Amino acid sequence: MLIFLILLPLLVAGTIFILPDQRSRKRMLVFTALLHSGCVFSFWMFKPSTSWNGFLGLDALGLLVLSVISVLFLMVSFYLMGYFKDESELSRKVFIGFLLCFLSFMTLVTVSRHFGLLLIGIEATTLSSVPLINFVKTRQSIEATWKFLMICLIGIALALLGTYFLAVAGLNNVQSLFIDKLIIHGKELTLPWLKMSVIFLLIGCGTKMGLAPMHTWLPDAHSQAPSPISALLSGCLLNCAFLSILRVAQVCHAAGQTPFFSSMLILLGIISMGVAFVFILGQEDYKRMFAYSSVEHMGILAIGLGLGPIGIYGALLHMINNAFTKGIAFLVTGNLYKQYHSKKVSEVRGVFFAYPITGIFLLAGFLAVSGVPPFGTFLSELIILYAALIGHHYVVVFFYCLFLALIFIGIADIILKMLQGRPVHESVSQGPKESWSMVMPILFLIVVVFILGFYIPPILNNVLQQGVGLLAG
Amino acid sequence: MNVWLDAALISVIILGLFIVASTRLATMIQIFSVQSVILGCVPLLMYAKDLEFFIIIISLAAVVLRGFIMPNFLFWAIRHVSVRSEASPFIGLGTTLLLSGVSIVGSFLLASRLVFPVAISSDLVVPSSFSLIIMGFILIVGRTKAISQVIGYLLLENGIFLFAILLLKKMPLLVEMGILLDLFIATVVMGIVVNNISEEFNNMDTVELSTLKD
């Protein structure tokens, strides 16, 4: 079943690359996404068995990330139905093909039970997202692609070295890189090599996840990629990297090294929030602003993960909320870019006046991104704050609240200016109205994040608790 | 004491120094090719006493991929652009060599502190792998041409491969092959992007890649 889930998008991608024609590509994309999410939905009822000699398996953490990826991908594929209008046939073929490869490799990351396979999956996601980021082929997008490729490949190389160190740490007893075996023999790992490996893995996967100070590729790639791709990068790819850090946390927990790992996570988290605040303030490009907001939220995830069981619960919940929120934010920027033909904040004025629906979505996206109640992000950020408070981490509490407040002000300043007033150029309001396919996915995501703000379904709560049990049980 | 293995490792480090110290791109690629071939033979030397079939396969794959296919691909990439040498590196050649020397010393110090859990055939493997990794980093940071940075990345990957050889018997074939393949694809993708850069910017200087910033 798991192999099917990985191979399905690859097969469809192969078909798209080979077949000469035609208009059915978008439908094939949506159909694959539907089938994928249907399978993932069934995993919530029936747990799939491990397969392929134990290399593939699905636990609570993998299930959470996989579900987020699947839902967001489905929404983005619906959105793409309306987004593509005037691109050439060839580039569309390449685009949709690599998009499906991207889905397949992200699925591989979530279901791999072996550190080597996990890294191969992460590297494959990097490589398959290169043609997606470099879709428009302007000077800026080539620059963004180069930075993305170079920095992420070096990050993965370091993570690979960390994985080898992990293998060395277990050379006397474990002699394998299967996550389950490492956890069982956690106490017997050689300490100096384990610590080296944890540092390298955290730096390497942190690069991919966009933790400051290794985040420098992120704002460029997010701002230059087409908006639906930015949504996928921010909501899915960063979560894949976060999942690999969760795997490291599992091993650390089993080895009794959680305090060592937590301190590094909290430090990186606070730095990320601080960096995000500095660059959000007075940002001139609204996509870059949301990209820096991703850096901030990855920092929040890292802090939550470092704060013990309650913090981990908050971080897992925040991972879901953040992915869907970023989906909203970046898909709305896609609408805005279609309407205003500019990524500059100064050229986007009077969204409420010219495009009321996009305006309301942008407002909702802004509120959700900055964690305003009743959106789900508020709840999960509150849980993480609570975890910091009862753990007596007052320095963390101080910086966490300070940066959250300042970032809220920074984003509000930018978004509210864009919403109010009248458009700068008269021609803007005669632009295309939003088609249904560019409205419904955003609406769906807003409803989901809204509901998660005051109601967590028991089945989700159950899986979240299982996830916490894996990381701090 | 395995003399041939030590000789191979020392020559790998020296060739690394040659790469770091040269500015002609073609020379760098050629030396990289020689280094990779020697590196590809290291598994054979290290496990000479109990040679297994899959080790020979991995050696062959490494020699062919790293020693021949990737250098040829890099040559293909520089043939498409007018740039032949690294004119103005960020870090001068003297400084680079000095840094590399310091990094080799540091690697030996670090490796002497870290006790490897099982007996290994040569004490030089870990420090040489660390020095190659750091030299790769120096090349990535210190050079401005996109191809030089790719060579730096490959040098870094060579260092990691050298470390992986120590674990060859403990890790499944699948993962090793996967990583080799991944590296190959990474080079191809990088080469294509380099070509994109050179078409759009008329050369492949990464200094020009500076419009995106805050």
pLDDT tens string B24-54: 889 999 999 999 999 999 988 888 888 888 8
| Structural domain of B74 | 3-206
* pLDDT over 90 at A218, yes or no: yes
For B205, phi and psi rounded to 5 degrees?
-85, 120
Categorize the per-residue pLDDT at A465 as very low, low, confident or very high, splitting at 50, 70 and 90: very high
Q: Do B182 and A130 touch (CB under 8 A)?
A: no
Could you report the per-residue pLDDT of A16-52, keeping only the tens digit for each?
A: 888 776 667 888 899 999 999 999 999 999 888 888 8
Nearest to A228, CA basis, from A434, A10, A441, A17: A441
By Cβ distance, the residue of B164, B170, B209 closest to A175 is B170
Q: Are A153 and B146 inside 8 Å of each other by CB?
A: no
Query: What's phi and psi for B59, nearest 5 deg?
Result: -55, -50
Residue B212 at interface with chain A, using a CB cutoff of 8 Å: yes
For the segment A290-339, what is each residue's pLDDT rounded down to a tens digit?
999 999 999 999 999 999 999 999 999 999 999 999 999 999 999 998 88
Predicted confidence at residue B178, as pLDDT, reads 60
Q: Is the pLDDT of residue A88 over 70?
A: no
Q: Angle of helix A394-419 relative to helix A356-369, nearest 10 degrees?
A: 170
Rounded to 10 degrees, what is the CA torsion of A357, A363, A366, A368? -90
**What does the pLDDT read at residue A17?**
84
| Close Cβ partners of A455 (under 8 Å, ≥ 6 residues apart) | none
- CB atoms B171 and A116 under 8 Å: yes
Residues 3-62 of A with CB under 8 A from B: none
Task: Take residue B121 and report the two structure tokens written for it.
Answer: 């055939």
Q: Which of A372, A385, A380 is nearest to A461 (CA)?
A: A380
Nearest CB among A142, A149, A288 relative to B189 is that of A149
Residue A193 CA to its chain's centroid (Å)? 30
Does B214 map to a domain?
no
Please answer yes or no on whether B179 and A160 come within 8 Å at the CB atom: yes
Closest of B105, B163, B157 to residue B129, by C-alpha: B163
Tell me the residues of chain B between 102 and 121 that have a Cβ less than 8 Å away from chain A.
114-118
Which residue type sits at B66? R
A125-158: per-residue pLDDT in tens? 998 998 899 888 788 888 898 889 889 989 988 9
- The four Cα atoms A41, A47, A48, A54 give a dihedral, to 10 degrees, of 130
Specify if B128 maps to a domain: yes
**What are the tens digits of pLDDT across the range B162-212?**
888 888 877 766 556 666 666 677 777 777 777 777 766 666 677 777 777
Is the CB of residue A332 less than 8 Å from the CB of residue A359?
A: no
- Alpha carbon A348 to its chain centroid, in Å, reads 26
User: Using CB atoms and an 8 Å cut-off, which of residues 90-149 of chain A contact chain B?
Assistant: 114, 116-117, 119-120, 123-124, 127, 130, 134, 137, 139-140, 142-147, 149
Would residue B100 count as lying in a domain? yes
Average pLDDT, chain B: 84
Residues 6+ away with beta carbon under 8 Å from A169:
A189, A190, A191, A193, A194, A197, B117
- Tokens 């919403």 correspond to A419
Residue position matching structure tokens 């894949």: A240
| Residue B213 forms part of a structural domain | no
From first CA to last CA, the distance across chain B in angstroms is 55
Chain A CB contacts of B173 under 8 Å are none
Residue A289 pLDDT: 94
The DSSP symbol for A213 reads T
Q: Are A349 and A418 spatial neighbours (Cβ–Cβ below 8 Å)? A: yes
Phi-psi region of A434 (alpha: psi -120 to 50; beta: other; left: phi over 0): beta
Q: Based on the structure, what is the number of domains in chain B?
A: 1
The pLDDT tens digits of the residues spanning A354-401 come to: 888 999 999 999 999 999 988 999 999 999 999 999 999 999 999 999
Structure tokens at B200: 């759009």
pLDDT score of B174: 55
Helical spans, DSSP H, in A58-133: 60-83, 89-111, 115-133
State whether A116 and B179 contact (CB < 8 Å).
yes
What DSSP letter does each residue of A219-237 carry, written as one string?
HHHHHHS-HHHHHHIIIII
